[in-house]
Amino acid sequence: MRSFANEIRDGLDQALAEDPGVLVFGLGVPDPKGVFGTTLDLQEKYGEKRVFDMPTSENAMTGIAIGAALGGFKPVLTHQRLDFALLSMDQLVNNAAKWHFMFGGKRSVPITIRMILGRGWGQGPTHSQNLQSWFAHIPGLKVVMPALASDAKGLLLSSIFDPNPVIFLEHRWLHNAQTEAADTNKPIPLGEANLLREGDAVTVVSVSYMTIEALHAVDVLKEQGISCDLIDLRSISPIDWPKIEKSVKKTGKLLVLDTGFKSFGIAAEIMAHITETCFRDLTLPPARLTAPDYSESTSPALTKDYHIRAEHIAARIGDMTDRDVSIEPILNARGAAHDVPGNWFTGPF
Amino acid sequence: MRSFANEIRDGLDQALAEDPGVLVFGLGVPDPKGVFGTTLDLQEKYGEKRVFDMPTSENAMTGIAIGAALGGFKPVLTHQRLDFALLSMDQLVNNAAKWHFMFGGKRSVPITIRMILGRGWGQGPTHSQNLQSWFAHIPGLKVVMPALASDAKGLLLSSIFDPNPVIFLEHRWLHNAQTEAADTNKPIPLGEANLLREGDAVTVVSVSYMTIEALHAVDVLKEQGISCDLIDLRSISPIDWPKIEKSVKKTGKLLVLDTGFKSFGIAAEIMAHITETCFRDLTLPPARLTAPDYSESTSPALTKDYHIRAEHIAARIGDMTDRDVSIEPILNARGAAHDVPGNWFTGPF
Amino acid sequence: MTPELTKSLAHGMRRIRTVEETIAARYSEQEMRCPTHLSSGQEAVSAAAGALLRHSDLAVSGHRAHAHYLAKGGSLNAMIAEIYGRVTGCARGKGGSMHLIDEAVGFMGSTAIVGGTVPVGVGLGYSLMIKGGDDIACIFLGDAVVETGVFHEALNFATLKNLPVLFICENNFYSVYSPLEVRQPTAREIHEKIAGYGIHTASGDGNDVAAVHAVMSDAITKIRAGGGPAFLEFSTFRWREHCGPNYDDDLGYRPDPMIEEWTARDPISLFEGKALADGRLIQGEIDAMQQEIDTEVNAAFDFARSSEFPPAEEADMHVFADQMTGGPL
Amino acid sequence: MTPELTKSLAHGMRRIRTVEETIAARYSEQEMRCPTHLSSGQEAVSAAAGALLRHSDLAVSGHRAHAHYLAKGGSLNAMIAEIYGRVTGCARGKGGSMHLIDEAVGFMGSTAIVGGTVPVGVGLGYSLMIKGGDDIACIFLGDAVVETGVFHEALNFATLKNLPVLFICENNFYSVYSPLEVRQPTAREIHEKIAGYGIHTASGDGNDVAAVHAVMSDAITKIRAGGGPAFLEFSTFRWREHCGPNYDDDLGYRPDPMIEEWTARDPISLFEGKALADGRLIQGEIDAMQQEIDTEVNAAFDFARSSEFPPAEEADMHVFADQMTGGPL
Ligand SMILES: Cc1ncc(C[n+]2csc(CCOP(=O)(O)OP(=O)(O)O)c2C)c(N)n1
Ligand SMILES: Cc1ncc(C[n+]2csc(CCOP(=O)(O)OP(=O)(O)O)c2C)c(N)n1
Ligand SMILES: [Mg+2]
Ligand SMILES: [Mg+2]
């Protein structure tokens, strides 16, 4: 068994080995913890010029990644929280996203920006933002959100070798997720969603960590005779509309799951688009389960009902299918406190 | 007759006169052009401590506005283009939007950030972004987008005296719009949309400059026997859901207009929300007309079909109502080139 | 140095140390469920600042703010309750260890984004400048903050407007596990680089509280007299891991001689040793002081642990303010 | 100074002047429909850089980039066509005056956000450092750029890594209508403030092309030899309005004596006057040079005006690249 973090690390390792143009940098990249284990030993292996720590200068380092890309390199920049990358929106949006366009296709900017999405254990308002809808709204950025450990490496490789800037969002609660060692030397094309479960009751569209909760919910409901399509988007820009549309044409019901704030979030676009293209197929209004429109607080007492979990998803599918569902099996399977990914986690980050 | 720019200037003047805590600053605020005429003479009137120019330091100046607000002032910061404010997302989102929340309500941050939305005459990719959906997605920010000159002052006064951070988005093509001198000493409450035209064919929801085009389209269609509800949102956060819902329950048809990129934009949220709340009332899928998912180019040859204009709106309403409509009256009324707000405009900004 | 000041500095350092070490001792109970950055070993800078700043001066800080908050006079009970996520916390549990506030004593807030409060502090300085008077704004920052662009932008503005702002940089040579030399050119010290701005700068041994006090006192006097901003750099050393209650020197990111040298230079013993030697303090006073502090700190933990958690309904409160909280000017 | 260099500098300045003034003369035809920032009066810095930089050196600039692009060897036809919004433009009409690019000669791009290309230039410097060799990255910037945080962040990194980066600051004392003194403390000059970083800094009269050349040559030699980054400040003066083809001194934002003093110090006449006086140039050479330039410039405008506009289908092209444009390392 290998963890999501191992797979990310191996993806970086493979990219560095394959292509001398790949650079990996970010705060803490060569440190003893190696960004939650994802960059361990890479500096020793590839040297300080290709793998390096950096000053707390998120905006300039993004511009420096762009410049290095223009100089022929393929930089991978890591932010330990998405929240810190808010400092770099100018370089990201005004330069990276637009360079190829605004210079008439003269030069692409092959950079990958890893951002980690925080949650739980008192992360609080500025260490837990999931702003994927910002990036997806910007023409010229690709946005990748892996959920399964088995997808992490393949998606990362595609991101690194994509000629465009790619925002690669890693949910902190996934780093410890396990997978059978998959043959993931092959890149997974960006824009291909993954139909993880098949059924005809409801189309559940999900990203990143929400997919883990959704899998749980969908599997439990299956035992209760309700089977759903579960589509893990993997990338939200480009997004796999055909797969979603095909499923909705079958089920007539759409439930979108997202880790971000509700209003003006990615779920809205998915609901709007599917309503535009599948209006006559829908038997119910499309629904969403997302984070609410307020920040995650620090006190655990204030986060108990903040995040969508498998029981909420199951209950909602029950509502949408007019079926009584039991969430007991989900609650009973729950081992850890609500603010940690598992009992192995004892803080602080 | 008074212009939108005059109204903004008078709003600032009135606020400065009424409350010694109001500060006005930004690049070019005291310069001879006075930010398109909106800040003329204010420094002379209120002194250099309360009205001042600033260094090209958008991020720090946002933080300085926050600090001044914590020190008891009500700062108004101006950016000549929204695009420049991308440098300040950290201060805006991590500090201003969250301060009241993350300190448990201890202190509010009454700042107003004016951002001007560029368009036309070769503004190009980094002087024409309309990223309202970004701000609307952030809990703790209010987002105001005036369209009518007669609303500009009232909305600005409400923004300045609101205890929360308010993003005030002024479309560059509106500064010259004219209004009868309205009695606008009264603030207009944030979150109240304005039903500008009444009808039962289609609910048209619009913001900012799109409302000008929509008014034209709706008025021309009225003469052709199609009458629509036209709702000018004025503020998108908070947003006036009841007014939109009431209208859609009457018309069964929703068309949303926006100046921003299409995907993951504000139109998606409006469509998604209305589908959630009014699904059974809708006789057609909700529709949107927005900027496309690519940047505005500099060459006028590449912007001819970039923006939504009255003729597109009229044609779309025709489609939605299964009626033949004539867009000739709209095209005939068009006097200026497509990349300027009027013939009076001869560049460069 | 007067006996009063001697006692005040010793008390300030001991109080911070005791709070931090009590947090460390109790952290493993898993009841303080938030990222927590302790200042053990770095008490001198805060204690000196605490002896010099008034409640009407305004201060801000970053992620490692316990010492600054306490030195400025922030309520100990409210801080510990905040770390425990209780409704009696200074931010009602919304913010945790990294979001401390006590406006009653001029501690205007600490936040978790490196450099994030620097311009806020300068904006506070701007408000003080308009209001007149000789209060100052004080910005506590770490060595990593000088790498952020916003610091330079804010410093430029403070200098331009000659604002009453004191920048206090605690250089502990590390940002998380990253040594200074992978982040900044080290041929010049931080304060030497900042001196380019043409403002008053100075530096000192951050583990020598008397030296810190002298350097700071000089700078504050200049600022209060209208001399404009000043930047002070104090070298010091964090004892425990960057974030959390443990020691982590087994990870090997800091050289052994450095660890030994700096931990041997405990600011409290250094200061008290001298004061005892030259009779400005006697051991009995120290013992009494410590006992009093222990009582206060234990009471604070009791207060926190016996406080209620915020009710669930508070989770979505405070997103928007209904009215100005600051009142009219 | 050799006759070749003398001619090259005179030619460089005259060529830029002629291009800018021709744009100004034709702008009112309303066919150049984009914001355009002219460099008339500021030609010396670019001309000197042009004489010293190689095509394999990499350069970036900002909104006022015509002179830098031309000096670096960028195609004149492609620039004028770009300003006219034609498909033959260097950015196929997508970018206009503020987005110039000619990678064949190492001009890697100019953009419209103040300070936006500074870290990009440092990143190019990083790529050159890895590749080895003695090429350098050159960043053209205005006086407002030193107010941006990203400039300081990028400079810190360039210094930290000892990168081959030349920062060339043209201080024309204004950012749009705003004088330096409302944006920066002016007790020290910009280069003096930057000197705090400990890198090579120098300054000079930006209207004296020989002086600029000497200062720049020295810095470039040091950088090519591995000496790390350098920052140069040249004072100069823009003749026309910030953006657009007109003079705007009727607005009164610049003091009359300043305008008179600086426009009297036309860099071209100053340089040629001396060269004529000491016989390094003769008037006939200048006249021939100017005739050749006029022919070239007129041809460029003819080229641009006779070029096609980009077809409508290009509006949504180039959002994403289908393949790497740079090829393998
Ligand atoms: C903008 C930003 N980048 C990165 C981080 C992660 N981070 C948290 S604390 C810290 C170290 C800061 O070091 P320093 O300023 O020296 O303070 P110290 O921890 O040494 O007291 C970092 C990098 C952050 N919080 N914000
Ligand atoms: C981040 C940002 N803020 C503001 C602007 C508006 N702006 C365009 S050019 C300019 C002046 C820049 O002055 P300087 O760097 O001195 O160059 P100069 O125009 O004098 O050559 C400004 C403020 C911008 N383009 N980007
Ligand atoms: Mg440190
Ligand atoms: Mg200038």
Check whether residue A35 and residue A86 sit in a common domain.
Answer: yes
**What gap in Å lies between CA B206 and CA B257, rounded to an integer?**
5
Whether ligand 2 lies within 6 angstroms of the CB of B58 is answered as yes
- Residue D149 and residue C147: Cβ atoms within 8 Å? no
Whether ligand 1 lies within 6 angstroms of the CB of A27 is answered as yes
- Domains of chain C, start order: 3-311 (3.40.50.970)
- Say if residues A201 and A178 touch (Cβ distance below 8 Å): no
Is the residue at A321 inside a domain? yes
Torsion of CA A42, A45, A51, A52, to 10 degrees: 90
Rounded mean pLDDT, C3-10? 97
* Listed residues B151, B179, B207: the one ending a domain: B179
Tokens of A217: 């919910």
Is the residue at A346 inside a domain? no
| Domain containing residue A94: CATH number | 3.40.50.970
Buried-state track B91-113, b at ≥16 Cβ within 10 A, e below 16: bbbbbbbbbbbbbbbbbbbbbbb
Report the complex ipTM: 0.98
Is the residue at A279 inside a domain? yes
Q: Which helix (H) or strand (E) holds D256?
A: helix D256-264
The chain-wide mean pLDDT, for chain D, equals 97
Give residue B341's Cα distance to chain centre: 16
| Domain containing residue A266: CATH number | 3.40.50.920
Whether ligand 2 lies within 6 angstroms of the CB of D174 is answered as yes
The backbone region for D100, taken as left when phi is positive above 0, alpha when psi lies in -120 to 50, beta otherwise, is beta
Residue A312 bears catalytic tag: no
Is the residue at A168 inside a domain? yes
Chain C residues 130-189 with CB within 8 Å of chain A: 144-145, 147-150, 175-178, 182-184
Question: Which of C114, C148, C236, C238 for a ligand 1 pocket mutation test, highest count of atoms within 8 Å of Cβ?
Answer: C114
β-pairing verdict for B142-144 and B235-237:
antiparallel
Residues 6+ apart with CB under 8 A from C121: B67, C58, C59, C60, C108, C137, C138, C139, C154, C165
- According to the model, what pLDDT value does residue B342 have? 80
**What gap in Å lies between CA C69 and CA A4, rounded to an integer?**
39
Check whether B202 has a pLDDT greater than 80. Answer: yes
Residues A181-216 pLDDT 10s: 665 678 999 999 999 999 999 999 999 999 999 999
Check whether C239 has a pLDDT greater than 70. Answer: yes
Helix D76-83 to helix D283-306 angle (10° resolution) is 50
Q: pLDDT confidence of B183, banded at 50, 70, 90?
A: low
Check whether residue A149 and residue A255 sit in a common domain.
Answer: no
Any CB–CB contact under 8 A between D73 and chain B? no
β-pairing verdict for B203-206 and B194-197:
unpaired
- Ligand 1 centroid, distance to C144 Cα (angstroms): 6
The chain-wide mean pLDDT, for chain A, equals 96
Number of domains in chain A: 2
Chain A residues 175-234 with CB within 8 Å of chain B: none
Check whether residue A169 and residue A247 sit in a common domain.
Answer: no
For A261-308, give the DSSP string.
Answer: ESTTSHHHHHHHHHHHHHGGG-SS--EEEEE-SSPPPSSGGGTTTTS-
Nearest residue in C to A55, CA atom: C183
Residues with CB under 5 A from ligand 3 (ion): C 142-143, 172
Apex CA D24: angle with CA D20 and CA D28, to 5°? 155
Q: What is the pTM of this model?
A: 0.98
**Closest ligand by atom to C37 CA:** 1
Check whether D123 has a pLDDT greater than 80. Answer: yes
Rounded mean pLDDT, B234-250? 98
Check whether residue A175 and residue A231 sit in a common domain.
Answer: no
- According to the model, what pLDDT value does residue A342 have? 80
Rounded mean pLDDT, D256-275? 98
Q: Which helix (H) or strand (E) holds A257?
A: strand A254-261
Rounded mean pLDDT, B288-293? 98
Q: Which helix (H) or strand (E) holds B169?
A: strand B166-171
Residues B83-122 pLDDT 10s: 999 999 999 999 999 999 999 999 999 999 999 999 999 9
**What gap in Å lies between CA D16 and CA B141, rounded to an integer?**
47
Nearest residue in A to D100, CA atom: A103
Whether ligand 2 lies within 6 angstroms of the CB of D67 is answered as no
Nearest residue in C to A30, CA atom: C178
Whether ligand 2 lies within 6 angstroms of the CB of D158 is answered as no
- According to the model, what pLDDT value does residue B344 have? 77
Residue A170 bears catalytic tag: no
Rounded mean pLDDT, A46-65? 98
Check whether residue A232 and residue A170 sit in a common domain.
Answer: no
**What gap in Å lies between CA C169 and CA C184, rounded to an integer?**
15
Q: For chain C, which chains pass the contact test of at least 3 CB pairs under 8 Å? A: A, B, D
DSSP strands (E only) in chain D: 58-61, 107-110, 137-142, 165-171, 174-175, 178-179, 200-205, 230-235
Check whether residue B28 and residue B100 sit in a common domain.
Answer: yes
Three-state secondary structure along C254-322? CCHHHHHHHHHCCHHHHHHHHHHHCCCCCHHHHHHHHHHHHHHHHHHHHHHHHCCCCCHHHHHCCCCCC
Q: Which amino acid is at A283?
A: T
Helix D283-306 to helix D3-27 angle (10° resolution) is 40
- According to the model, what pLDDT value does residue B343 have? 78
**What gap in Å lies between CA A296 and CA A294, rounded to an integer?**
7
Tokens of A231: 């589509």
Is the residue at B189 inside a domain? no
Smallest Cβ distance to A299: which of C30, C177, C309? C309
Tokens of D271: 């340089």
Check whether residue A147 and residue A246 sit in a common domain.
Answer: no
**What gap in Å lies between CA A281 and CA A283, rounded to an integer?**
6
**What gap in Å lies between CA B191 and CA B164, rounded to an integer?**
13
- CA dihedral (D130, D134, D135, D137) positive or negative: positive
Q: pLDDT confidence of B178, banded at 50, 70, 90?
A: confident
- According to the model, what pLDDT value does residue A180 have? 76
- Residue D197 and residue C197: Cβ atoms within 8 Å? no
Residue whose pair of structure tokens reads 């010091």 in the numeric block = C236
- According to the model, what pLDDT value does residue A334 have? 86
Tokens of C162: 């000659």
Check whether D78 has a pLDDT greater than 90. Answer: yes
Check whether residue B199 and residue B174 sit in a common domain.
Answer: no
Rounded mean pLDDT, A222-250? 98
The chain-wide mean pLDDT, for chain C, equals 97
Q: Which amino acid is at A43?
A: Q
- According to the model, what pLDDT value does residue B335 have? 83
Rounded mean pLDDT, B160-176? 97
Check whether residue B174 and residue B136 sit in a common domain.
Answer: yes
Check whether D292 has a pLDDT greater than 90. Answer: yes
Interface test with B, best of C126, C163, C197 (most B CBs within 10 A): C126
Smallest Cβ distance to B64: which of C111, C126, C326? C126
- Catalytic pick among A7, A79, A100, A127: A127
Rounded mean pLDDT, C306-317? 97
Q: Structural domain of residue B13, as residue ranges?
A: 2-179
- Residue A86 and residue B98: Cβ atoms within 8 Å? no
**What gap in Å lies between CA B220 and CA B330, rounded to an integer?**
7
Nearest residue in C to D152, CA atom: C149
Distances (CA, A) of D107 to A62, A165, D222: 20, 21, 22
Check whether residue B95 and residue B230 sit in a common domain.
Answer: no
Check whether residue A19 and residue A151 sit in a common domain.
Answer: yes
Residues A282-330 pLDDT 10s: 999 999 999 999 999 999 999 999 999 999 999 999 999 999 999 999 9
Check whether C119 has a pLDDT greater than 80. Answer: yes
- Ligand 1 centroid, distance to C63 Cα (angstroms): 7
CA distance A306 to chain C (A): 8
- Show which residues on chain A lie within 8 Å of chain C, measured between beta carbons: 27-28, 31-33, 52-57, 59-60, 83-84, 87, 121-127, 292-295, 297-306, 339, 346-349
Nearest residue in C to A303, CA atom: C315
- Ligand 3 centroid, distance to C141 Cα (angstroms): 9
Is the residue at B247 inside a domain? yes
Any CB–CB contact under 8 A between D193 and chain B? no
* Listed residues B124, B149, B179: the one ending a domain: B179
Which residue, judged by its Cα, is nearest atom 25 of ligand 2?
A: D113
Whether ligand 2 lies within 6 angstroms of the CB of D142 is answered as yes
- Catalytic pick among A7, A58, A296, A311: A58
Check whether A138 has a pLDDT greater than 60. Answer: yes
Any CB–CB contact under 8 A between C5 and chain B? no
Is the residue at B205 inside a domain? yes
* Listed residues A123, A151, A179: the one ending a domain: A179
**What gap in Å lies between CA A207 and CA A233, rounded to an integer?**
6
CA distance D74 to chain B (A): 20
Smallest Cβ distance to C127: which of B68, B94, B102? B68
Is the residue at B184 inside a domain? no
Distances (CA, A) of B65 to A306, B95, C147: 31, 11, 22
Chain C residues 6-35 with CB within 8 Å of chain A: 27-28, 30, 33-35
**Peptide linkage before A292 cis (omega within 30 of 0):** no
Check whether residue A155 and residue A299 sit in a common domain.
Answer: no
